[in-house]
Amino acid sequence: MKAITTTNVVKNIFFLAISLTSLGAFAQEEDKKFNFSGSADVYWKTNLTGTNEADEDGNFNTPPTSFANRSGFSLGMANLIASYEGEKVGFVADLVFGPRGEDAVFLSTGSANIVNQLYVYWNVSEKVRLTMGNFNTFLGYEVISPVGNFNYSTSYMFSYGPFSHTGLKADFTLSEDFSLMLAVMNSTDFTEINLDGSYTAGAQLGYKGQYLNLLYGAQTGLPGETFQIDYTGGFDLTDAFYLGINTTYNTTDDSGFYGFALYPQMTTSEKFSIGLRGEYFKEFDGGVGVFGLAPDQDADVFEFTLTGNYSINDLTFKPELRFDSASEDIFLDGDDEPTGSLASFLVAAVYSF
């Protein structure tokens, strides 16, 4: 699981957020090319088959995935996005505050640990765009913001893959159906600095909403080269039923993980939809830290997450029931004894504007 750091938000960060808010409001009146948007989310969570108490280090009994990992009432994040979209050039400044935001930008330092994305772009032609800066990853089915996810909690594949990249990418529109992206970037999640001259190459081939993603290169602090191949896509099986798909394989110096997930989702009315995430995830040859394995060990986990989405204008309530079953005893039952499974329930409220 990606590391978690503590953020000290100082007064100038608050003033920056207010300034962006004012800029966005003014710009929307004066020039429609400026936009200001964002979201805020909070949640309540309880474990149904295990303890809800934190240990002496402040860690909760929870699935070892990113976000939504605290019991009781808790905060997600506030997300503020200012952008300018010109005919040829533009920028995006995406700021995050709160526990979910801290987890998302965990390798940042100082005031920059509120920056989720910060990039500029140039439309070289109608079919070529160059982007430079910090942008969220192109791998995987899920994203950092809960607004972009059907489920509120996140998958193992998303949690242990990359969150963000900093570098230069080129997007090509090859035809009406095909697209191609090529990128050169810093080590994964080192979003504001390159510490040792390590670079990662990225590529994405898209066809009618289906994407094949590739990542390869040296990573700061890791032995050998990291290689990841990832497929993300989905199909509208009917007007009301959608099936999302994600599968990935990641290896660094012969250890790593792979997984597969299905995301069936059904819309029952204008206000309500329901969806399931069914995921299988396996670490091999020591893995990446999910189970704390020895170098030659393997372990796996199944997780099933059933989520409802009920919308009232710009506010969405997400009741969610999740069950994790692992091959190792990584959870605690109600008596604080190690166990291989955990059932949990949460209700999240997500507001977007």
The DSSP symbol for 147 reads G
pLDDT higher than 50, residue 122: yes
The 10s digit of each residue's pLDDT in 250-270 is 999 889 999 999 999 999 999
pLDDT higher than 80, residue 120: yes
Confidence of residue 4 (pLDDT cuts 50, 70, 90): very low
Average pLDDT over residues 305-318: 98
State the Cα–Cα distance between residues 4 and 86, nearest whole angstrom: 36
Nearest to 281 by CA among 156, 196, 119: 156
Do the Cβ atoms of 230 and 248 come closer than 8 Å?
A: yes
pLDDT higher than 60, residue 197: yes
Mean pLDDT, the chain, whole residue set: 90
- Find how far residue 184's CA is from the centre of its chain: 20
Do the Cβ atoms of 229 and 214 come closer than 8 Å?
A: yes
Q: What is the pTM of this model?
A: 0.89
State the Cα–Cα distance between residues 108 and 199, nearest whole angstrom: 17
* Structure tokens that stand for 89 in this block: 């050039």
The pLDDT value recorded for residue 111 is 57
pLDDT higher than 70, residue 22: no
Q: Where are the domains of the chain?
A: 37-352
pLDDT higher than 80, residue 139: yes
Long-range contacts of 200-208 (CB under 8 A, 24+ apart): 200/165, 200/167, 200/226, 202/138, 202/165, 202/167, 202/169, 204/138, 204/179, 204/180, 205/178, 205/179, 205/180, 206/178, 206/179, 206/180, 206/181, 207/177, 207/178, 207/179, 208/177
* Structure tokens that stand for 34 in this block: 């400026």
State the Cα–Cα distance between residues 252 and 216, nearest whole angstrom: 10
Average pLDDT over residues 147-166: 96
What's the fold here for domain 37-352?
Porin (2.40.160)
The 10s digit of each residue's pLDDT in 315-343 is 999 999 999 999 999 999 999 999 999 99
Average pLDDT over residues 69-98: 96
Q: How far is CA 60 from CA 52, 67, 68, 70, 72, in A?
A: 7, 12, 11, 6, 11
The pLDDT value recorded for residue 221 is 83
The pLDDT value recorded for residue 32 is 57
The pLDDT value recorded for residue 56 is 86
